[in-house]
Structure 1
């Protein structure tokens, strides 16, 4: 520790001596023009005041700094707002100005279509039943239809008399509206009708080929052998 202090003191002394020798030939500047120093008078350099470096740097920076830009006192004038150009109204000629305004054209109303009538259901009336009667013995053609290559007549017979009535169907006579005789075959009809009996039904079958051009038929039948009861049914339509 003492060696360190000794070295520091020795360095300070040497620095002081070297500095004094360096300033031995420097003269002090003249500070007062009215009181001029004599030519042989030299000031002690130790009495010269030292310059403050911080102050010098501050003054230099103040000189180098540009002056502040003054703030304008006049406010900026806003740009003018464009005024819309008015559209000129077309002027009417005196003739058009004095002419009366035509009345509005009435709009024709669209005619409403009439409601569509609902068609009434067609009621088909069945043809009247063909009936032939002689006394209390009757024969009735119920219907006529086509069945394959034949025309079939449905026939009903009844005897309400007090005696038995006999028929021989081979003597049945069938003709068309042109007067032609037509051959036929009977099925289901009884040869005898008992007195006060019920209704008996059967069929008469006619070949359809023999009815070409025919529109109506007639059926004639008489009891056998007395022939007192003559039964005839005419106007029977031929089914097409």
Structure 2
């Protein structure tokens, strides 16, 4: 019986020891977990500041705001209107007297010279106008002048016949004295010329790059689609 009691006592002691060991391990694990959680939480909230709720801080903020509001100066409407009126009347501080305009006699001479040149350029040129007429239809070259990098020929069309004449600008041939075809642009070219005797003005432009060493040009125009009417203008002088 004594042996059985000793065996049971040993069994109880081992159970108690195991229980104490487990409790100790649980306490150690809980302590380690608490320290670890505190460290993680501290790192998470690091850099986050609590708002300043002290009365002194609020008073300082209100003071700065009041100072900013005091920095704004309100102007009186009467002063503003008086300053504007003085500026308009020329009595303001920054108002400066206008300097009288002094006419430059050289500018007058240049303008008069320029007007003389324009008058001379608009005067009739020698050899113009040139007229070609057939079957009551006439083509007149009123002038030929260089302007804007091109030779411009002022043309006048008139139909005194009994039927309407149709033209195409592509049927207008322009050649130099060597028979070479020159490219030209037309403005106001009449595609239809009614038989009413009215003059229709048009302009023919030829680039100066095509007129090197060219002294005379010729025009040839026929109607469309019959091509029965032949208008020719030969040896038009290229005046430079």
TM range (shorter): 0.3 to 0.5
> Which structure: larger Rg?
1
More helix by share: 2
